[in-house]
Amino acid sequence: MAGDDHYSNQMFENIMMDHGTWEFPHFPVMPQTPSVRAVSMDGPYLQIQEQPKQRGFRFRYGCEGPSHGGLPGASSEKNRKSYPTVKICNYQGAARVVVQLVTALTNNTQLHAHSLVGKQCDKGICIADLQPKDSIISFPNLGILHVTKKNVTKTLEERMIEAFRMGYNCGVSIHPEIDALVGEVRVPRELNDHQRSLINNAASGQAKEMDLSVVRLMFTAFLPDSDGGFSRRLEPVVSDPIYDSKAPNASNLKIVRMDRTAGCVTGGEEVYLLCDKVQKDDIQVRFYEEDESGLTWEALGDFSPTDVHRQFAIVFKTPKYRDPNLQKPTSVFVQLKRKSDNETSEPKPFTYHPQIIDKEEVQRKRQKTLPNFQDFSGHGRGGGGGGGGLYRGGGAGPAAGGGPGSAGGGKVTTTCEQQVVTGWQLEAMFHYSVTGDSAYLLAPQSSLMTAQDEDGDTGLHLAVLHKFCSVLLSQLRTSVVLSALTPLHLAVITQQEEMVEALLLAGADPTLTDRHGNTVLHLASQQDGGGMVQFLLQHREMRALLDHTNSAGLCAIHLAVLANQLSSLRELLGAGANVEAQECGCGRTALHLATEAENVSLAGCLLLEGNAKVDCCTFNGSTPLHIASGRGSVKLTALLMAAGADAHKENFEPLFFTEEDEERRDEDYEDEGYIPGTTPLNMATNNQVLELLNGKEYEPKSPLRPLTGDLASLEVEVKQELCRALESEGCWENLAHGLGLGILNTAFRLSPSPSKTLLDSYEVSGGTIRDLLEGLRSVGDCRALRVLEEALRRCGAEEPPMANETTGELINRQDFYPQCDL
């Protein structure tokens, strides 16, 4: 061993020194395909017989000591070891093979800063002699020494200088001037100051782009010349990439477990996926479908880097299937896909189900065929007033019918009991005949009010489903038990305000939930228009439901955002819904959800009208800006930055993992033990987002053409008088709503002069004097209205003409303001 070490230490000084100078032919830059030879097959050439194993081998740091095993070959197995092997074809005799580490993911092959270590290695490279009788040589003891980040540039510069001195820079790119000197004759060569400067600059530039998690082996063979020196160089060959097993992008992708393997064709359903180690900004969840002809459909699951937990779990939403009108379940596949090298995991099956549009079966129940009236008259088969198909909740079920004409039921009632029942029914019929109120006919049947049909619906449910309000009111007057029923949910689902009002007045409990834990406010918040939310919130008892969560941990405000219902959201905010309420899954607020959906209007409403905290945090400390940055959303990033979001705020996701950054053992830190979190700046996925995070103002891709308006024609003195009048009477907020700018009232209040900011904003948006006048009239009789009207009278015919919004033709203002005598 000692002899070997001494030999390896002197290798560079003694190798090929039999002659002082050599003639080196010039070789072109090697091709990217490693084992394919571009030269003539007649002469000697080098060929890789056994590629190195690409994955599973760990690069070790110097502080860890020597490796416990050499780099295995691609076909190596537990009981049949193999190692990287090369063969010199068309040649028999002595030779010398030099092995160097080079880059794997660069356009031009470059020297790598990592070092080869082993018995025949020195200064980061390996040199082995091939015996005359052999044409094949293997390398069983190769290890890879991982350079620390702070030493990359220094080590790379030393590697470049040594390669140039000894003539090992053939096939690698250092600098054009250096690469052109491959054929110089004297080895070892001496470098002048200019050459050292070029190498220094090249090392600095290449170090910045070097991927420390992957390398390749470059083999160069030298044959002996007529003088016995190894000076005849063959064209180098390069191996397949070798990935550090510690690097996230080096591990084999594998789906370990998913919490659901089926979903609706509409997508958007949340799936929890456990996996082997992945890199959060270099991973995708791919759905695809194939048939005999190949790929027919593919889409990606929706998630951001903040949804990747500690590199071992991904929370994503399923994509929409290609056919939204699917009639039967269809199987597709889901797999992990790495962005950087397109490697994929083994696919797992996933089933898409048809969309269930009528989830509560409202339409089906409305279409249900009703029996003939004769069935209830007591003259049909099965007799009596029993009626069929009803379950009387708590009784023994329908009475067994007797023979034809029997009274139905297996228990014989006494004559006295029958007379009492008949008396009640007669009295109810007489009252109905006098008053016309059907409630009297239902009174004797009050015990049947809780009976359910085969769908579990009571009479109250059916009245709501079929929109018979008068029937519902009659039943409510005779029903005494409502707490266990949910016709109120059906009334809200079918958007029948009159029935909702009737049920609430009758004592229906609005806190009851459906099977998903939804109250009526949850259901209403997802409906179009927001009318039902506004109607419900008129009842005081509904205010207590604003912060109530359903089974999924979502409040009404969360559901309004997820359903993209701006009107419902504004109604909820106006009623006092907690804009900072966190859903119970991972602590997202409504602003987080709006950002995930990339919905600028909802996010703007939450910030401006709801005064949402722009830096609100989830359970893992992520702000909406983390989400916008990670998703590459330029508009949401610009909006949040304009609202004052902190681009340097750290979440709880470590920026690096201590077990992966063993190089830090060699470095001294003042804050030892502190692991920084990830900021939005760290998560930026494109340059435009990064520029916005660094303070650059947002510029739309296509500049908008300025809207034309005539508000600028008003004199400055008139505008100032308008502002004073609006603020003195406090009617500027009502005017903002009249002009369609009410959503910005919160921002206007922050201004020193809200009325001036309002008028300026209205002017920029293309506002006209005509609309301003109409807006002031809608506010009522106020001094600002009189100020504007008086100014228009003074202007007379000298005022500039207006442009017709539809035709663009110039028209006289007298057509619009005859009352002003223009």
pLDDT in tens, 684-716: 989 999 999 998 888 776 554 555 567 778 888
* pLDDT of amino acid 675: 65
Is 755 strand, coil or helix? Answer: helix
Higher pLDDT, 15 or 316: 316
Considering only CA atoms, give the Rg of the chain.
Answer: 41
Residues 161, 189: contact at Cβ < 8 Å?
no
Q: Which of 51-55, 549-553, 594-598 has the lowest mean pLDDT?
A: 549-553
Residue-wise over 426-439: b if at least 16 C-beta within 10 A, else e? eebeeebeeeeebb
Higher pLDDT, 611 or 28: 611
* pLDDT of amino acid 782: 86
**What is the DSSP code string of 350-381?**
EEEE---S-TT-HHHHHTPPPPPGGGGTT-ST
* pLDDT of amino acid 215: 94
Interval 358-364 mean pLDDT: 54
* pLDDT of amino acid 786: 87
* pLDDT of amino acid 12: 37
In terms of phi and psi (left: phi > 0; alpha: psi -120 to 50; beta: otherwise), the region of 783 is alpha
Q: What is the pLDDT of residues 46-88, one digit of tens each?
A: 999 999 998 888 888 887 766 667 899 989 887 788 999 999 9
pLDDT at position 500 over 50: yes
Interval 630-644 mean pLDDT: 93
Is 63 strand, coil or helix? Answer: helix
Query: What gap in Å lies between CA 174 and CA 311, rounded to an integer?
Result: 36
Longest Cα pair distance anywhere in the chain, in angstroms?
Answer: 135
Residue 384's pLDDT band, with cuts at 50, 70 and 90, is very low
Residues 641, 647: contact at Cβ < 8 Å?
yes
The structural domains of the chain, ordered by start, are: 2-246 (2.60.40.340), 249-353 (2.60.40.10), 711-820 (1.10.533.10)
Query: E strands within 103-148?
Result: 115-117, 121-122, 125-130, 136-138, 143-146
Residue of 240, 223, 15 lying closest to 127 (CA atoms)? 15
Is 711 strand, coil or helix? Answer: helix
Residue 636's pLDDT band, with cuts at 50, 70 and 90, is very high
* pLDDT of amino acid 806: 43
Going by DSSP bridges, is the β-strand pair 348-353/262-264 parallel, antiparallel, or unpaired?
parallel
Query: What gap in Å lies between CA 52 and CA 136, rounded to an integer?
Result: 15
Residue 36's pLDDT band, with cuts at 50, 70 and 90, is very low
**What mean pLDDT value characterizes the chain?**
77
- Tell me which DSSP letter residue 261 carries: S
Residues 693, 684: contact at Cβ < 8 Å?
yes
Interval 325-353 mean pLDDT: 90
pTM of the model: 0.53
